[in-house]
Structure 1
Amino acid sequence: MAYESNEKRMESVYSKRIRAGKRRTYFFDVRATRSNDYYLTITESRKKFNEDGYDRHKVFLYKEDFNKFLKALTEAVDYVKTELMPDFDFDAYNHDNYDNEGEVATSENIVAESTTVTPSPAAAPVADTLGEDVDKW
């Protein structure tokens, strides 16, 4: 029984994968606690060079820190874009137009990168608060 509750607790209710080159992938997973509270895990997964397997680093972000985290991240990214590298074309590195093998995606080979496992009405306010600030990037 304890195993089943741990499995349920570890399930993602929402997951978003971002491919960042050939060896790096970021995962954003919304997970539920036993008491139906929600938190975010951010995972960087890097394919090991000259070895099999992956190195993974994970950050847990709790709901009470969402706004502070998003504000600090936005400020740091904006600082790099406007103060340190104002002439750099950041859109040139937008990998959304590439498939898993680095080829230009076409309508025939596009695969959805986000998956909603279980919609939850309790998660809606989080999306509402985060959505406006994320679009400012």
Structure 2
Amino acid sequence: MEDRHDQEEIYSQRIKAGKRTYFFDVKATRGQDYYLTITESKRRLRDDDTFSYEKHKIFLYKEDFLKFVDALQDAVDYVREELLTPEEVAELDRPRPAYDEREGGYTRTDDNY
């Protein structure tokens, strides 16, 4: 693994989910080898009433992208088809506004309504 200063961030997306925030960052090494980092950040309350963040990170290399996406889709399909009630599936399928950081908020588009 190369030194942190050798990494160039190319793309970043943030997803807020309650006390958790997920970051999807595409990076490149100096040799233009691309990889994805997926970070889960959880806000925790300390004993002194200040907050800290607990982070967990996955490094996903380009040669594994398709295998990862396939396995993730298989797991999601299993949960939807085998474990959830029809009502829970309907809630998951409910259209939601998309968050557009450029616009500074949620937007309504044809893709999500």
Give the paired residue count: 97
State the shift of 1:86 in Å.
Answer: 4.1
1:12-51 maps to which residues of 2 (within 5 A)?
12-21=9-18, 23-50=19-46, 51=50
Alignment gaps of 5+ in structure 2: 108-113
- The amino acid of 1:57's aligned partner reads H
Report the secondary structure of 1:48's partner residue. strand
1:55/1:83 Cα in 2 relative to 1: closer, same or farther (>3 Å)?
Answer: same
1:32/1:98 Cα in 2 relative to 1: closer, same or farther (>3 Å)?
Answer: closer
Higher RCO (C-alpha 8 Å, min separation 6): 1
TM-score of the superposed pair, with normalisation by structure 1: 0.61
1:48/1:73 Cα in 2 relative to 1: closer, same or farther (>3 Å)?
Answer: same
TM-score of the superposed pair, with normalisation by structure 2: 0.72
User: Contact (CA 8 Å) 2:25, 2:37: kept in 1 or not?
Assistant: yes
More strand per residue: 2
Aligned match of 2:105 = 110
1:14/1:56 Cα in 2 relative to 1: closer, same or farther (>3 Å)?
Answer: same
Alignment gaps of 5+ in structure 1: 100-107, 113-137
State the shift of 1:10 in Å.
Answer: 2.7
More helix per residue: 1
Aligned match of 2:72 = 73
Report the secondary structure of 2:32's partner residue. coil
Deviates more, 1:64-73 or 1:43-52: 43-52
Aligned match of 2:92 = 90
State the shift of 1:109 in Å.
Answer: 5.5
RMSD: 2.7
- The amino acid of 1:110's aligned partner reads G
State the shift of 1:34 in Å.
Answer: 1.5
